[in-house]
Chain A
C-alpha cells in the first residue's frame, strides 16, 4: 500500500526519531512510504489561537501536497484531527488522513506489529485522539501486543495534560497545574516510559518530567512499535 507520511512540523523539526520510526514500522508492515518534501504545517496553531485567516493557506497547501494520496498517516492525533475536522470548515476537501494507531488497526487491520520493547510503559491517550478522532483504546491494543512490554494503566488517563498549544503559554499557570496532576499520575505508575501518540503533549509532559529530574522518558508510540529485538529502540531524549 502506498502511504504518504505527514510528519507534522513539530515532529519533523524536533523529533525526527519518531518520523523515522513511522517509516520503519510501516515499511516492515509492507507499505511503501513517501514523504512529500513540500509539506510544512497543518495550520493548527494558527487556527486554535484565533488566526483563522493564516491557517487557510496552510490547509490549502496540505490538500495540494497530499491530494493525490489515498492514505496519509500522521504521528499526531491533534494534527490528524485538525485536517479531518477543521480543514473542511476552511473550504478544503482533504485526503483521508489517519492518526498512526487508527491507520494500523483500522486500515492495515493489525494489532500485533511484531514489536519488542522490554520496558515498563504507561500510556497517555491525548485529548484530540480520544475525543476528536475517537481512537479509543486502539493504541492500548497495539501496546498489549508488544513483546516484553509491561503496560501499566495510567490513573485518570483521559484527563487533559494541560498542553493545549498556545494555552500552555497564554495560561501558563493553569497549564502547569494540570501538568502537575498528570505527572503525579505518571509517577504513581512506576513506569520508566511515558508513551503517547502525540509529540506535542509528550513534549509538555516530558518537559515537566525532565525539569523534576524524574528519569521517566517520554517515547512516542511509533518508536515503541518500531522497536524490535533485531533493531531495538535507543533512547534519544
Chain B
C-alpha cells in the first residue's frame, strides 16, 4: 500500500521539529498573538449561550450515532445525491481519490481549477497530484492562498497561515502578485480579492470539501467567511466535492446543533458570514455537473478502535489548537501533518495506521495532558484519553527499550510497599548531590529535567518514616 500523505514525507519526530520551531521567536510571537486573540473571543461567544453543554452533548451523540451506522447512512447519502443529479465516487485511499478527481478535471478539459479550502483535499495531497497531472489548482481561501503563494506548509486547520503576521503576508503578496500593498489587513484582503476575481469569473471547474453532508436529503454544507466558497460553489459549470466518509449527519434537523457549535468554536462568531447548502444539481442555479468523492484513507481502520474512533467525531473547528499550550509554542508544522495540535496528535497517527513510524508515534506524546482541548471541543472528544490510549500502542510497537525496562522496574517497586520504602531510603543518598538544598544537574535522562529546572533534594526522612516514628 502507498504511504498515507497525511504526514509529510521526511518530517522529523515531534521533539526534534519542536526544537527548531521553539528557536523561531517571530513564529512564537505570531502564534501567541493569534491564539490569544481567538481564545478570548471564543470564550465570549460560547459564554453567551445558556445551553452550550447540552449542544455539546447532542453533537457528541449525533456523531456517535453516525459512526454506529455509517454504512447505512453512506448508502442513503449516495441514493439522495444520485436522485438529485449528482454522481458519487468512492475512494479507498489518497491515491485513488486523487486519480478520480484528476480524471474528472481532464474530462472537462480544465487546466486550471479553483478550490475552496478543504482539509480532506489537503490530507490526500490533491494539489500536488493534480499538478503532476497537468492541472493547476488555485487556492482561493485567503490563508490557503498565503500558504500556496509562499510555497509554505499549513500550520492550522482553519487558518493555515496563522504562523504568518501581516508584514510577512505583505511581503509574500508583493513578491508573488507583483503589486504594491500595505500591511493593513483590509488592504491585504483587497489585494486577494483583486487577484482572484478574474479566476472566479472564468473557472470551469471548482473543487471543495464539505463540513457536513445530510444523509436523508443529500444536502452538502460548506461554512466559510470570505465568499470564495460561494464563488466556487456557484459560478463554475462543474463542482467536485471531496469529503471524508465521517462527515455525515443523519438528518436535516441535526444541522441545528452543528450550525450553532461550529461557528462559535472556530471563528468565535455567532454565525460565520456564509453557509452554502446544495443538493445535487439545481437547474438554472449553480454548477450543472456535481461529483461527490467519498474518501476512506484510514478512517475505517480508525473506526475499528473503540477508544480512538471518537476522533472521527471531529468537525475541524480548531478550538483545540487555539487553546493548546503545546501548539501555541511549537506551531502547527512541528506535527508534520495537515492535522496539527491536539486533534492532529490523535487523528494523524490513526490515519497513518502504523505505530512503527517514529514520527507518527511521537505525536501522542506531544501533550502535557492539561485537558484544555477536551474542555473546548464542541463534540466532546476526550483527547487526553485517546492520547494515553495511543501512547500505549506506541509503547507496545517499540518493544523493549531503556524506558520500558525502567518503567517495569518502577512498577515492580511500587507493587510492594516494602520495596518502595527501601528505594526511598536509597534515594535519600541523592541529598549528597545537592548543593545548598537543590540539585542543579543530574545524569541522563534526568539531565533533560535539570537543563532548566533544579530538583529538590530528597528530605532526610520520608513522610512514611515520620509517620512510623510518631504515629505508628
Contact = CB atoms under 8 A, between A and B. Distances in A.
A176 interface: yes
Interface in A145-180: 158-160, 162-165, 167-179
Interface in A41-70: 41, 43, 45-52, 54-55, 57-58, 61
B368 A162 contact: yes
Interface string A166-200: 01111111111111000000000000000000000
A88 interface: no
Nearest to B365: A170
A131 B388 contact: no
A19 B437 CA distance: 19
B368 A58 contact: no
A210 B410 CA distance: 28
Contact of A51 (B367, B392, B445, B454): B392
B63 to A, nearest CB: 21
B453 A211 contact: yes
A1 to B, nearest CB: 17
Contacts of B408: 51, 54
A187 to B, nearest CB: 15
Given A12-B462, A173-B22, A176-B451, A207 B415 contact: no
Interface string B441-472: 00001001101111110110111111110011
A178 B408 CA distance: 30
Given A160-B325, A167-B369, A50 B18 contact: no
By CB atoms of chain B within 10 A, which of A14, A171, A207 has the most?
A171
Interface stretch (A31-39, A99-107, A224-232): A31-39
A10 to B, nearest CB: 10
B395 interface: yes
B391 A13 contact: no
B410 A46 contact: yes
Contact of A211 (B375, B440, B462): B440
SS class of chain B's interface: helix, strand, loop or mixed?
A: helix
Contact of A159 (B325, B364, B369, B416): B325
B353 interface: no
A131 B410 contact: no
Contacts of A172: 15, 448-449, 451-452
SS class of chain A's interface: helix, strand, loop or mixed?
A: helix
B57 interface: no
Interface residues of A, number: 66
Contacts of A176: 451-453
A15 B466 CA distance: 12
Contact of A208 (B392, B416, B424, B453): B453
Interface string A11-25: 111111101100000
A171 B468 contact: no
Given A40-B415, A171-B14, A173-B15, A16 B391 contact: no
Contacts of A89: 385
A179 B367 contact: no
B455 A13 contact: no
Give the 8 A-B CB pairs with smallest separation, nearest first: A164-B368, A207-B453, A50-B391, A50-B395, A160-B370, A54-B411, A131-B371, A16-B463
29 contacts: A13-B463, A15-B456, A16-B465, A20-B463, A35-B464, A41-B414, A47-B388, A48-B391, A50-B364, A50-B394, A50-B395, A57-B411, A61-B415, A127-B369, A127-B372, A131-B374, A165-B368, A168-B448, A169-B449, A172-B449, A174-B18, A177-B22, A178-B325, A207-B449, A207-B454, A208-B453, A210-B453, A211-B440, A237-B437
Interface of A: 7, 9, 11-17, 19-20, 35, 37-41, 43, 45-52, 54-55, 57-58, 61, 89, 127-128, 130-132, 158-160, 162-165, 167-179, 203-204, 206-208, 210-211, 236-237
Given A127-B371, A203-B455, 7 more contacts: A16-B462, A35-B464, A46-B410, A131-B374, A174-B18, A177-B329, A210-B454
